């Protein structure tokens, strides 16, 4: 029984030490000019950039008339713009549960 335990311990030690022994290579000091260094790799920050679609703006006179009809930019914020949901409170209080309605 003790022979099997000793063999098991030796097998575990060999399995544990073999990767460490394989990694023992002579390393040069990083400040040594003859030390091998990997080549620099450059990846652009714009490599995955996709431009927005080229949407044409609408007719500016009609858009200006629409903004004037709803009360300017304040009308857009109050929710009177086309497509705005009615019944919600405008301003900051409408963003909080239990706020004034």
In 3D, which of 71, 50, 67 has the Cα closest to residue 58? Answer: 67
pLDDT at 88: 47
Quick one: what percent of the chain has pLDDT higher than 90?
11
The C-alpha atoms of residue 88 and residue 100 are separated, in whole angstroms, by 10
Q: What is the pLDDT of residues 27-72, one digit of tens each?
A: 778 788 888 888 999 999 999 888 887 777 889 999 889 888 888 8
Whether 73 shows a pLDDT value over 50: the answer reads yes
Per-chain mean pLDDT for the chain: 74
Show the DSSP H helices in the chain as ranges: 2-22, 60-69, 72-78
Whole-model pTM: value is 0.26
62 Cα distance to chain centroid = 39
């Amino acid at each position: 029984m003790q022979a099997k335990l000793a063999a098991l311990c030796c097998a575990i030690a060999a399995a544990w030490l073999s990767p460490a022994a394989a990694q023992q290579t002579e390393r040069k000091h990083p400040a040594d000019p003859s030390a091998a260094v990997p080549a620099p790799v450059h990846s652009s920050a714009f490599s995955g950039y996709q431009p927005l679609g080229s949407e044409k703006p609408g007719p500016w006179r009609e858009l200006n008339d629409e903004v004037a009809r709803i009360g300017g930019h304040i009308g857009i914020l109050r929710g009177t713009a086309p497509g705005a949901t009615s019944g919600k409170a405008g301003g900051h209080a409408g963003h909080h549960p239990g706020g004034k309605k």
